């Protein structure tokens, strides 16, 4: 019985770790394909396009303190020169990309 519980726990832990890794992977892919050109791979916008548009780094305290909902709204509706991603990315992709931006802020 103890062994069975142990196996069940290992299975649950593994499944959780895999789904977190998948979400990050999906967000990372979406980010690299759609966002990194302007926001740079590390989110600092330290790319030629990012510098030209004077994009705020995702690591700046102003962006860090924004809620996921606020970031999502900017991505969905667009902000400044950035066009909105409605219809281009699914809700799930936008959610994953916000999760990925949070990992860049650490």
Binding site for ligand HEC (CB under 6 A): 34-35, 37-39, 49, 53, 55-56, 63, 66, 71, 74-75, 79-82, 85, 97
Q: Are 69 and 77 in contact (CB under 8 A)?
A: no
Residue 12 CB, shortest distance to ligand HEC, in Å, is 31
Residue 68's Cα: distance from chain center in Å? Answer: 10
Shortest distance (Å) from residue 9 CB to ligand HEC: 35
Q: In this structure, what token pair is assigned to residue 73?
A: 């709204």
CB of 13 to ligand HEC, least distance (A): 30
Residue nearer to ligand HEC on the CB measure, 13 or 90: 90
Q: Minimal distance in Å, beta carbon 19 to ligand HEC?
A: 21
Q: Which is nearer to ligand HEC, 1 or 87 (CB)?
A: 87
CB proximity list for 23: less than 8 A, separation 6 or greater? 96, 99
Contacts 24+ apart (CB under 8 A), 36-43: 38/82, 42/104, 43/101, 43/104, 43/105
């Amino acid at each position: 019985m103890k062994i069975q519980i142990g196996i069940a726990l290992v299975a649950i832990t593994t499944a959780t770790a895999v789904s977190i890794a998948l979400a990050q992977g999906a967000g990372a892919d979406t980010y690299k394909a759609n966002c990194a050109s302007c926001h740079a791979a590390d989110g600092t916008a330290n790319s030629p396009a990012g510098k030209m548009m004077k994009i705020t780094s995702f690591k700046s305290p102003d962006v860090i303190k924004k809620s996921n909902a606020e970031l999502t709204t900017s991505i969905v509706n667009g902000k400044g020169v950035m066009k909105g991603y409605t219809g281009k990315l699914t809700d799930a992709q936008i959610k994953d990309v916000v999760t990925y931006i949070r990992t860049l802020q650490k």
